[in-house]
Structure 1
Amino acid sequence: MANFKDIIGQDQIKKHLLESIKKGSLSHAYIINGETGSGRRLLASALTKTLLCENRTEQGDACGKCKSCLQADSGNHPDVRFITHEKASISIDDIRSQLINDITIKPYSSTHKIYIIPDANRMTEQAQNALLKTIEEPPEYATILLLTENSQNLLQTIISRCIILNTEPLRQEEITQYLIKNLQMEPEQAKIAAGFCQGNVGKAIHFATSEDFSEMKEDTLRLLKRIDEMDIPDIMTIIKELSQRKGRINEYLDLMLLWYRDVLMFKVTKDANLLLYRNEYKSISRQASIRNYADIEKIIKAIDKAKIRLNANVNFDTAIGLLLLTIKE
């Protein structure tokens, strides 16, 4: 499990939790809300480890050395429960068997007992209603952590009885430095991954260490450097190739977006040092010279529109075809 000091960003959440622990004013229930990779599970694990720690640091963080910390790190602490589910949703039976029926049993070795629901937004309405009474009147030793991608999927009666902590996107420079320092990445690759992930450090780590990411980036760059010379049959071939990778199309679109933001940035500043795709300076410079501001803005909007169309289940070939034709124009 993580320590608070190991988590980059999320300073307000860390400060709130550490101060609440020091003052003994911690809530019995929290909703930690944010997209996958934003750090919500790290925050939950840091809070859990710190609450259970037998010898906290002066800053209030877990010591990382006591028996409780070692048990937490190994995933074998007797007073921590992760609520699991086999089906797509978390059923009322899952909540009853793993939380409601267990929470009345006092902690085994600590003064706290912690329940973590990693996919809380997947609880059925019946499961949430069953949990409601426990959240309203929990045992003094119990803390319940609901981790969600979208807290609005929870019942208002649940939301109103919890403190909501919304994770914030990290600054690009924070993520870049993290990737360089902790993953020993080349600065340019780290900068591209940080720009690509839009403030989500988990996403940056995933793609920075993925061979697929490098392949996607190279495929995208080849397409964007050649598209002005392509004819309709060439574009149809590209659509067919992309249709075989539908599951990752948003990632391709994000890489395209970074490219045209670079084109716009260079057109405005003429400063190659500000580019994410710095090694592609010549191609970016050429595209900036042949496109006016309105053209570039139109392409950026077309990429966003393609995402909206795909999310609305518009035909894949139609949505991508319209985008590529807009870029070519």
Structure 2
Amino acid sequence: MARFTDIIGQEQLKEHLQNALKLNKISHAYIINGERSSGKEFIAGIFASALQCEKVQLQDEDIPSGNVEPCGECRSCKQMATGNQPDVIYVTHEKPGTIGVEDIRGQINGSVAIKPYSSPRKVYIINEGEKMTVQAQNALLKTLEEPPEYTVILILTTNMESLLSTILSRCVVLNMKPVKDMQVKRFLMETMQVPDYKADICVAFARGNIGKAKLLASSEDFEHVKEEAITLLKYINDMEINEIVAAIKKIGEYKLDVNDYMDILAIWYRDVLMFKATNDANHLIFREEIQYIRKVADRSTYEGIELVISALEKAKNRLNANVNFDLTMELLFLTVKENS
């Protein structure tokens, strides 16, 4: 069973939750704000387990050094491990892009007055809180304004700005922070047995997001896309436009966020820029490709490399704004070809 000691990084957030448990000063509502895959659900599950754990509840609240790790042995912890804790409610929604007013009324407002079945508290976990409509948030506000003393609501969100100010003012806001690269790398190598070189690549792409690092390390698609992207960059000067178009179309065959593909290209060119400036391969992410990185660095100007990096950022913004994928990528690769 997961415990606070299993959380990598996030020391401030972890300390806040542990102190709340130690001092028995639990707020009625928390917002955990952070990137997708950053571990919000994992942390919420551990906190919910500790809130309901029989051994944690039996502690003397005057002993602030008490152990607040869920024991994993009591009835509540065993129910949490199997997903059957009746007093920990995960709010669901049928529409994938929206949490509607009926979802909140039916799963929270309609049951919050009913006392916990077998635990001291009733914990509601709302994942993807940014998907709540304004009407849903206003419905939730009614509960937040006068919550029963046993209620704890955990709102997990990737975009806190999508929540009403009246919701924010009634919640304790906890922000996820990027995990240090060395902590992410150590986790990948020690827990997932990821080789050193592959761990470096995953760390570079994850940018402090431990969940994303795990996904990339175990994704076959990521490996294939990385190889194809690097092959395209290595040989783009010798390719005709129709070959580049064919390579672009192949990207869509993989189940991978296009931003990850763009990041591969950006990191390659950051490597090129770094090598051109330092002539040192030791700190390159794609250092096994040094032969090709040296060639690109030698034949490119600083201005040309910076133009490509700028074009990559513009292309990413266009794709996030739903501009036509094929057209955006063709324009990007023409810029790459002209400046490499």
- Is residue 243–residue 316 contact of structure 1 (8 Å, CA) maintained in 2? no
Query: Are residue 31 (structure 1) and residue 31 (structure 2) matched?
Result: yes
Query: Are residue 142 (structure 1) and residue 119 (structure 2) matched?
Result: no
Equivalent residue for 1:85? 93
- How many corresponding residue pairs? 329
Equivalent residue for 2:73? 65
Deviations 1:64-86 (A, max 9, x none): 22222222111111211001111
Amino acid at match of 1:235: I
User: Greater CA deviation, 29-38 or 274-283?
Assistant: 274-283
Deviations 1:235-280 (A, max 9, x none): 3333343455697322211111111111122223333221111211
Structure 2 runs not aligned, ≥5 long: 57-64
Equivalent residue for 2:310? 301
1-structure distance, mates of 2:66, 2:327: 59
Query: Are residue 276 (structure 1) and residue 312 (structure 2) matched?
Result: no
Query: Are residue 131 (structure 1) and residue 140 (structure 2) matched?
Result: yes
- Is residue 222–residue 256 contact of structure 2 (8 Å, CA) maintained in 1? no
Give the TM-score taking structure 2 as reference length. 0.91
Give the TM-score taking structure 1 as reference length. 0.94
Taking a change above 3 Å as real, the CA distance of residues 90 and 312 of structure 1, as seen in their structure-2 partners, is closer
Equivalent residue for 1:47? 47
Equivalent residue for 1:102? 111
2-structure distance, mates of 1:43, 1:203: 15
- Is residue 188–residue 278 contact of structure 1 (8 Å, CA) maintained in 2? no
Query: Are residue 2 (structure 1) and residue 10 (structure 2) matched?
Result: no
2-structure distance, mates of 1:296, 1:10: 36
1-structure distance, mates of 2:247, 2:26: 54
Which secondary structure state, in structure 2, belongs to the residue aligned with residue 327 of structure 1?
helix
Deviation at 1:37, TM superposition (A): 0.4
Taking a change above 3 Å as real, the CA distance of residues 292 and 84 of structure 1, as seen in their structure-2 partners, is same
1-structure distance, mates of 2:115, 2:321: 48
2-structure distance, mates of 1:238, 1:103: 54
- Is residue 37–residue 209 contact of structure 2 (8 Å, CA) maintained in 1? yes
- Is residue 267–residue 285 contact of structure 2 (8 Å, CA) maintained in 1? yes
User: Greater CA deviation, 44-53 or 119-128?
Assistant: 119-128
2-structure distance, mates of 1:174, 1:269: 27
Equivalent residue for 2:296? 287
Amino acid at match of 1:35: E
Deviations 1:174-228 (A, max 9, x none): 2111111111111111111111122211111112111111101110111010012
Matched-pair identity in %: 49
Deviations 1:118-168 (A, max 9, x none): 122212222211111111111111100011111111122111111111111
- Is residue 225–residue 254 contact of structure 2 (8 Å, CA) maintained in 1? no
- Is residue 221–residue 254 contact of structure 2 (8 Å, CA) maintained in 1? no
